[in-house]
Amino acid sequence: MKLYYAPGACSLSPHIVAREAGIELALEKVDLGTKKTESGGDYLAVNPKGYVPALELDDGGILTEGPAIVQYLADRKPESGLAPPHGTMERYRLMEALAFIGSEIHKGYGPFFDPRLSAEARAERVAYMQKRFELVERMLDGKPFLLGERFTAADAYLFVMVNWKDFLNVDLSAFTNVLAFHGRVAERPAVQAALRAEGLLG
């Protein structure tokens, strides 16, 4: 399988999940500005949506959307515990967490990437994001990971979203549970390996 990614983008989430599960992936970097792949291909021919991640499957099919990809990878290695079994309440909790991160946090960051964003609009957007992270702060209260004691695919996604705080200059210093979570996940060997492979660690 091959993962199309951009360094530090949301594609880092399935990259981490694959490494946590022990799944070997070929990596193909994408220039999101030109829509060209590292090997010179047209990324829009791979994923007409134009954004990462995209996962090229062994049969040549393409799977897109991070929450779907991380569940697919986790289910390839159920013994990893990265996704609870289908049909269990714990699996629905995983899906709930992935949906919240995708729709409220990931999507919420969108305006920050617009260079035309005014200072006033930026301040309103920061306040919006902080309210979302207040909810995450409560979700993490008294437990190391979103679903409890075990690291799951949702934690990989949340880690990447917290990681964006510095790049996008969003102050999360008030959220001690969130920052402690980020520190714990950053120390995981699979996370370190993914960051290094994407050129984000020396």
State how far the Cα of 140 lies from the Cα of 155, in Å rounded to an integer. 11
Q: Residue 64's pLDDT is what?
A: 98
CATH 1.20.1050.10 fits 89-188, yes or no: yes
Structurally, at CATH architecture level, domain 2-80+190-197 sits in: 3-Layer(aba) Sandwich (3.40)
pTM for this one? Answer: 0.97
- Residue pair 53/4 in contact by the 8 Å Cβ criterion: yes
Q: Residue 201's pLDDT is what?
A: 87
28 CB contacts (<8 Å, ≥6 apart)?
A: 2, 3, 4, 5, 37, 38, 39, 41
State how far the Cα of 75 lies from the Cα of 78, in Å rounded to an integer. 5
The predicted-structure confidence for 149-195, as pLDDT tens digits, reads as follows 999 999 999 999 999 999 999 999 999 999 999 999 999 999 999 99
CB atoms inside a 10 Å sphere around CB 179: 16
Structural domain spans, the chain:
2-80+190-197, 89-188
Q: Look up tokens 């709930």; give the residue.
A: 96
